[in-house]
Each structure stands twice: as structure tokens, then as C-alpha cells.
A and B are shown apart, each in its own frame.
Chain A
Amino acid sequence: MKKALMLFTFGVLAAVACQKNPVPEPPAKDASLKGEEVSVKEFPADIKKVFVLNEGQMGANNATLDFLRRSDGQYITGAFKKMNPSAAAGLGDVGNDIAIHGDEVWMVINNSGLVEVVSAADETEIAVVEIPTPRNVAFDDKYAYVTSWAGAFATYGPDYTVTDSANPKGCVYRVDLSTKKLAGSVEVGYQPEGIAYYGGKLYVANSGGISSQLPPLYAYDNTVSVIDTKTFAVTQTVEVQVNLKNVYADGKGHIFVTTLGNYFDVHSGLYVFPANAPDQVTRVERDFLKHTHVSCSFALGEEVYCIGTENEFAFNEKHVYTLWSYNAVKNKLNLYPVDLGGVPYGMAVLEDDMEIRTLLVGDAGDYFNPGTVSCYRLYDAQDKVWRVTAGVCPGHFAVWK
């Protein structure tokens, strides 16, 4: 969920584009799709759709795309299959990331080894790009960049030759935005996850999630790889903390990294460093707070929102989840007294120009059967507004304006 960048950069671009072209659009082909109706009256007016990528269960080929339409409040499940009936295999296996670039929705389908690009207007397929074990995607104005767990490749060849199969490092693949063709790759750290673009550089979070279990390393990675997009080479490696997850840029010179910790003595958390001084890494925490742990996160503008639980090493206890957010420009940490039930698996925050915020939380339930998406208002009562049934493991959100 490196949506910070894409939301910030391209949300703005899309808004600008809309203002320039006030001609009414023809009705979308998916207008006839109906689902469960929910209340969207508090949603910001400039939003067209909120997309939800359901991961599905690995091996079950049941990743699905849902969307919530702002115009009539319809929550529609399985939209990709419905709008692409000729795609017999569906969306694929394990949807790991979703991001919007202009009027395109990019979905990273991890265990199908591809990135699916569809039209945001009607979910019809635009292109498919094959990339081995892709994880997350970010954009600059020419390319999409996709992190991949697949082995280190000197060059991207048709045979995907791995140089070190004992414990291959991952890499970042570059995809030309106009042709949707691969345009090179660069090796980064072990099992790279989140990626964000800011100021001519890419920031890649290396998790080492597989290396931690395997010889010869038996250790998590703890670095962010900084890639110069002009040379497409790693220029710097920043040590943060073990098991990195997501990266966000706030557009104001701050890079955020979330970590999962090692599950027994290093807690999860949020780290921040200035883009112009990457060695100045600080952990976001406050004396007055019990914890600043991160189970899932979402970036919106300058703000990074996190949901975490205090007793995260107590695996057999019930967890109480807390929503908090951090703004590095204001150096301000906010707590939200919202009562979240279940197991939050993915989230999104919407904000209108009156700073009225709405929280969407994906709950994976038992991770086997379809989960739910819940909507909470983050003002006044801070209570739950509605809940709908989504697909299996609703983990990733993207907002199309």
C-alpha cells in the first residue's frame, strides 16, 4: 500500500484533468451492475469509486475486485469477472496491491505472476504485464515500478535466470506506462514489499520475510533501497528496522516506512526519515501513548493512518485495535477513539474539504470465507455506519477521483 504517492500525485492530476474537461461522460458499461446499497452521503463529493482488492486464499485462484460507487452507493463484488466474462481464469491468485494511475487501476496479482491493468470507469481489461511474484506498485510519470520477490536478474531475460537460487534477492521491475511493456529491472534487498516514489527516487522496503526462515541468513532484512529513477540503479541503502512492510511519501520531503517486527521481541511500528537525509531514521512514538504499533496502514496526503494492537505478541489473546495517525510536517500524532471490532486486514481513509473523515476497514474474518468491509465515521460519535460482505481477505483499497 504505497498509495500515498499515487493518491497524492495522481489524485491531484485526475482532479486537474476533470476540471479541464467538463464535458459529461457517457454512462459507464458497468452502470447496470448492482450490489448491496450502502450510505455514501458523507463521502467526499469528488470521489467516483472506492476499489477493494480481495486477496483471496493462496492457491484458490479467488482474488476478486469489488468497488463502491459514489453516485448510487452500490457495493459491487466480483466486478472484474462480471466485466470481463471472457477472462475465464478470473483475476487470479492472491491480489496483493491495487493503485490508481490516471483512469487506470493497476492490480498486482502476486501468485498469478502478473499485473492486471483495467479501466477505472468500467473495470474492463486494458493490459496484462507478466512479472514473477510481484508485490507492490508505484509510479512516476513514465513508468510503473513493481517490487518482486523473484530472484535477482542481471537483465530481464525470457528464461528468468536466477543467479543465486539458495536465497535470491528481490528486485524492482520497470513497466513503461504507455506501452505496458517491461523496461528493465534492478536488484534490491530480500523480499521487497512496499515501494514509493518521491523526487526522482524510489524507496523500496525489503522485508526478508522468507530469508528469516532459511539458511544461510536466518534473518529478516532491515533496509530501504533507494533507487535513482534516472539511472535505475540503487544509490543508497538505509537501515531501518527488521521486516519492513509499506513505504509512503508525504510529498513534503518525508519518507515513511512501516515494519512488522519479528513477532517476539521487536514490535511493529512506523518510522520516518527525511528524503534528503535518509540516515536520520526515527521511530514514531510518544511518551503519553501505550503503543504505536502497525497491523495495517494507509496514507492520505501528509497523514499516515495506522491500525495496531498493543499486545501483539500475545497470539492467543483477543486483540483490541487502535487507530492512530501521524503527520510529519506538523510532527503531530492523532488518536481516534473509534471502536474497531474483528481483525483489521486493510484500510482506507477518505477526507473531504471540510476535513470530515471516513474510515473503511477490511476484515478478513477467518481468512477462508468472504470477509467484510466496514465504514466508520471519524468525527463526532466515531461509530460504525455500515458493513458489507466483500471477497476473501479484503486487504487493499484504492480511491478513484
Chain B
Amino acid sequence: MILAAVIALFLQAPPDTLAPAAVYAVKELLVVRATEAVRADSLVSAPMGVADILRSFTGVQVKDYGGAGGLKTVNVRSLGSEHVGIFLDGIQVDNAQNMQVDLGRFSTDGLGQVLLYNGQKTSRLQTAKEYAAGASVHLESALPTVSGGEVRLRGGTLGTVNPSVRWDQRLSRWLMLRTSADFLYSAGRYQYPCFDTTLVRENGDIRSLRLEAQLFGRVRGGQWQARVYGYGSERGFPGPVIRRLSFPFSAERQADQDLFVQGGWTQEWTARYSTALRFKYANNYTHYNTHPEKNPMALPYNLHYRQQAGYLSLAQSVVLAGPWSVDVSADVQRNALDSDVGQFVTPRRTTLTGVLATRLVWSRFRAAAHLVYQGAWDSFRTPSAGGWSRSNTYRDSWMPSLSLFWAPLPWLEADAFVKRTYRLPSFNDLYYSLMGNASLEPEAALQVGVDLRASLRPGAWQLELRASPYYNRVSNKIVAIPTLSQFRWTMLNIGLVDITGADIKASASWHRGPWRVGGTLRYTFQQALDHSEPGSQTWGNQIPYIPRHSGSVVLEAGWRDLSFSWDSSFTGARWSRTANTPDYYLAPWSLSSAALQYAFHFRERGVAGRPGAPSAGRALLLGVTIDNVFNTPYQVVQGYPMPGFNAQFSVSFRW
């Protein structure tokens, strides 16, 4: 639970003396703060995945199909999940097929920070793709500094068992090795109200295994890391809850095998000039089977997909004079998708992204601007008279952005940004109609936002208030429109959505002796109106699944090594269609969860035990999290009921 994360933040003592690995880190020169930031490595009753951390962030909607195996995607400020870049140590995790990155697949093990940027992350030596995303979520590895490790067992009432192990080994003064593994099994069986009766969710089970090895190296004036990641899973899709008599909702299964290798090398050549070189190769294999022999309602699909991506990025940063620095980054990426679907177009895409970025950093005033150019060459197989031929299209776009930061008073900060980004059509957008739509343009997002932040520290109190009004416009939105029959659709750039909103966050905490108390209040207003077709029945209506009002309250308390937290969230009324009629009204709901944890510290000679921090002495941690305390039935996506009351336990030992 996120509560645990917040507690962990709480517990953090002032940072230790600089960790050895950080010595060579290139100075980041951040212009704008992250919208939200959580240190994930210090969680005890840790969330199963990153989705649980992001859920509480302001302006974020996690679309969740329920259960451990259900797809979880993130949407920031109503832009659509395709506009949100997910970056793992600076390298984008992408999916050219449908641009939906399943957050359920990211473990929080070995993760240092989870950061959300509504505006633009402005640190040095970013990849060009980090500039090209509308909003971004950054998952950053915790850099190991000493040998140590952790074994953990999590499990709970949803039939979930999740053992994991992490081992950090210091190989030399210059090299650290981290290996980690986790296994997840979840039966995914939970009761839910189904029309006028109560049923148990079936075929929602998942088993997955993740194996990972990371090397963290240092060289004179620089550092590098490399990661090999393997993930295999087999899961069922329980399907939407619809009217059925005796036939099951679904017998669909999917097996995935994901493998990727990625790495980066950051080098400070002189005090003024540094570079970062990054690479990635990813190979994702999916087998989808509807199992008609188990479900007479299933259409007999038994399909295999293989998606491959190769990526290379070079970033350079020069400090020109005092506060003024300039970055130039260029990325090249190749994507390929193959399948045994009939008449498959076997799409290939080469994307070139380049950016020129500059920033001015004084202590009270900072500014950053950049211009991205992105070009993508697509190649598709096209059916033509007497066979197939390949046809090519080229799409390109310019994406500018400007960010400003001003701290007029020591306790008051303000920043503002304006940003235009484009997202390329996904392979699904392009080949859905089998023919490809050469005229399909990238979807555009314009964002304007202001962020005001006040932080005060009267006595033992720490207060923070943040208010962030914004306006977004998504234009040229790619929309599927049928042509001749339900079998034949085309994708057109006809959508237009205007989003006006505000995120408000207030937090207070108090700390004296062994006692800690705190609370955070978050509220998000979003008016996301369809302005696609003047005069249509949907013009001026709220777009599907976006609540006008949503918010949460988190309360925490702690005494010595015991911590407790409570989290209540509220999601306002929504509609499942752009036609905001009573038939498609989704009632508001609120949800509460609670977490309790205790840490036994085994102090060692000369090592001060820092509660909640990794590799800082031996500790045994016990935690329990209760989700959906009041057993509220709710659905994030219509037809996909979420679990009711459930409890998760965790035991872990760190050394």
C-alpha cells in the first residue's frame, strides 16, 4: 500500500553521508520538481506492484481490470495512457503494438524511487524519448552500496503467494552485482456482486516468475549499469461480467515471455562536458488462446505474437557558462511485430528522436526549454493484386516545451510549464483495418500547467500545500470508426478533448521523540470534455471513465518501530460512454485501506540501524495490509469487478 510508502518517507532520517556510488553522479541540475515522488525501496508491507504506488498520486488514474493478473495502465490528467511514458532507469518501457504498458508487471523490489512528472523532467543527460512523452513515470533502481540482501514472503486472502529474494554483492571497489527473483501465484478468486446474485471471479489466476541481474559499475568520473530481465507468466482473463446462463465468462489464457537487456553508461569527461550512452534490446512473446474446448462461447483464437525492439541513445550535456547548460540527445529505435494472425501486416518501425535542450539554473529562478524532433518510418505488408507488397510511410513531428521555476520566498515555490507532444499511432491503430491507414497522423497533446508549493516548518510541524491548475488539449485523437460493417474499422484523427483541471495536495506531519503523526489530503478536479464534433449528441460531455472529482486522505502514526496508516480514497461519478446518459452512469465510490507494520532491528557493531532503509543493518519486518476495509463493491472499468475486503501479510528479513 501507498500508505506504507508515505510512512517510509516519514521515517527517513536526513540522508547518510554520500553513498560511494553517488560520488560520481553527474549533477542533475533539476529545474522543476517531480509532481510526486515516493521512495519504494523502503516499503515493508510493500505493494505488489508499481500500480499500487501510482494510484494515490494526484491527477493519476490507474485503469485496473482487477486481480493480480488484471491489466493495469496509468492515465495522467486525462491525456490517455498512450501519452504516459514509463521509464525504467531512464529507458522507456514501451509497447509498439498497443502502447499499453501493464504496470502490474513491475515489481517494487530493488526499486529506489517512483517519480511522476506532469510537466517535464528537466535533469541532465536524459534520453530524447524522455522529452517526447506527454507525462512520465520514472522507476529508478536503488543503487546498492554494500553487500546485503532481503528475503520476503507475501501472501494474502486472495489466494496470493509471493516469495521474493534479492541479493546485493560487492564484487570489487568498482562493481556491485544485484540478483533478484520473485514468484507470484494468485488464485484471483474473489466474491463480487453479479447483477442480483453473488459470484466468485473465475479464471483470474496468474503465476509469474521474474529473474533479474543488474551490474552497477564505477569508472573514473562515471558509472554504468547493465540489467538482464526475464519474466514469464501464465494467466487467465476472467472476462467482462455480462449476462450468461451456464456458460463461463471466459476460458481465455495468455502466456508471456519477456526478455530484455538494457544498460547505460554515464561519464563526466570534464567539469563541463558529460555523456550518457544507453541501449536496450527487448523480446516479448505472447501466446493467446481462447480455449474453445473449455468454453463453448469462445471464438477459436489461438494466436502467437512476437514483438522486438532495439534501442540506442546518446545524450550529451555541456555547461556553457555558470548557470547555463545545453543538452543534445538522439535516440534510434527499431520495432518489429510478427504474428500468425491471417493477413498479418508484419509492421516494422524505425523511430529517430532528437532533442536540443537548454536550461538556466540559479537558486531562486530556473528555466528550461527544449525542442524535440521525432520521425518514424513505418513499413507494412499490404495486400495487392496477386500477392503482397510492402509500403512505407513517414510521420514526423516537432515537440517544443518551456518550463519555469521561481522561488520568491524561502517557503514558496512556483513553477509553470507548457508542452506539446505527439504520440505515434500504435501498430494496432495502423493495422486494425488490415490495410493500414497511411494518412493517420500522430495524436497531439498540448499541456499548460502551473504549480504552486508552500512548505512551512513551525516547531515540530512540517506543512506542505500544493495547488496545480492545468489545461490540456488532446487533438487529432485517434479514434476507431467502422466503415462497412462491424468487421471493418478505420482509424481517423477526429477526436478532440479539452481538459481543465486542478490538483491540490496538503500534507502535515509532526515528529517528536519516538512519536510521528501525519496526514495528506489530495483532491483532483478534472473536466475532460469531448469537443470532437459540434452538434453531435456527445459534444460537451465528459469523456468516459474520468471522474470530475476524486481525492484521498492518508493518515499515519508511528511510535518507535511500529507504524500504522489509513487511506481513504474517493472517486466521483463517471460515465462509461461519452453519451452521459443514465444508462451509462457509474456511481461514485470510496475505498479505505489500512496497514500496520513492525520492524525488529538487530543492531550491529558500528552500523546505525536506519529504520526502513535497505542494507543498513539486519532487520526483520512484519506487516499486514487490509484493502477495501468496508468490503465496498466497485468497478474501475465497467464489467470488471474489483476485490472486496482482503488482507495481505508480509514477512521479510534484510541484512
Contacts and interface: CB of A to CB of B under 8 A. Distances in A.
Given A61-B241, A90-B243, A114-B245, A315 B296 contact: no
Interface string A245-279: 00000000000000010011100100000000000
B36 interface: no
Given A343-B483, A368-B577, A59 B242 contact: yes
A347 to B, nearest CB: 13
Contact of B242 (A93, A168, A369): A93
A295 to B, nearest CB: 5
A295 B486 CA distance: 10
A313 B538 CA distance: 29
A133 interface: yes
A31 to B, nearest CB: 23
B485 A295 contact: yes
A35 interface: no
A89 B243 contact: yes
A316 B300 contact: no
B243 A59 contact: no
B578 A166 contact: no
B484 A268 contact: yes
A329 B480 CA distance: 42
A165 B296 contact: no
- What 10 A-B pairs are tightest by C-beta distance, nearest first? A132-B296, A92-B243, A88-B195, A89-B243, A213-B342, A88-B196, A160-B296, A93-B242, A61-B242, A369-B579
Nearest to B480: A367
A150 interface: yes
Interface string B319-343: 0000000000000000000001111
A162 B296 contact: yes
Nearest to A312: B484
Interface stretch (A20-28, A105-113, A139-147): A105-113
Contacts of B245: 112-114, 128, 130
Given A61-B639, A112-B242, A315-B437, A150 B537 contact: no
A316 to B, nearest CB: 5
B23 interface: no
B492 interface: yes
Contacts of B583: 62, 78
13 contacts: A60-B240, A61-B240, A149-B299, A151-B300, A161-B293, A165-B300, A218-B343, A313-B435, A315-B437, A316-B437, A367-B482, A370-B581, A392-B577
Contact of A367 (B291, B293, B486): B486
Contacts of A218: 342-343
Contact of A369 (B292, B490, B578): B578
Contacts of A393: 486
B486 A264 contact: no
Contacts of A366: 479, 481, 538
Contacts of A389: 537
A168 B247 CA distance: 18
User: For the side of the interface on A, what is the size category?
Assistant: 35 or more
A119 interface: no
Contacts of A369: 537-538, 577-579
Contacts of A90: 243
A88 B302 CA distance: 33
Interface in B622-655: 638-639
Interface string B576-592: 11110101000000000
B439 A316 contact: yes
B483 A165 contact: no
A343 B244 contact: no
Contact of B578 (A295, A309, A343, A368): A368
Contact of A166 (B300, B480, B486): B300
A113 B243 CA distance: 9
A182 interface: no
B386 to A, nearest CB: 9
Given A61-B639, A212-B343, A214-B301, A370 B292 contact: no
Contacts of B303: 214
A91 interface: yes
B95 interface: no
A167 interface: yes
Given A60-B639, A133-B299, A368-B578, 7 more contacts: A61-B241, A93-B240, A93-B243, A111-B242, A112-B243, A312-B483, A316-B437
Contact of A260 (B341, B342, B485): B485
A210 to B, nearest CB: 6
A388 to B, nearest CB: 12
A343 to B, nearest CB: 7
Contacts of B483: 312, 315, 319, 343
Contacts of B241: 61
A50 B638 CA distance: 31
Given A111-B297, A210-B301, A218-B342, A59 B292 contact: no
Nearest to A370: B579
The interface centre, meaning the residue of A166, A212, A268, A315 with most chain B CB atoms within 10 A of its CB, is A315
Nearest to B479: A366
Contacts of B482: 343, 364, 367
Interface in A150-178: 150-151, 160-162, 165-168
B487 A213 contact: no
Contact of A315 (B292, B302, B488): B488
Contacts of A111: 242, 297
A102 interface: no
A150 B242 contact: no
Contacts of B577: 368-370, 392
A367 B487 CA distance: 12
Nearest to A132: B296
B385 interface: yes
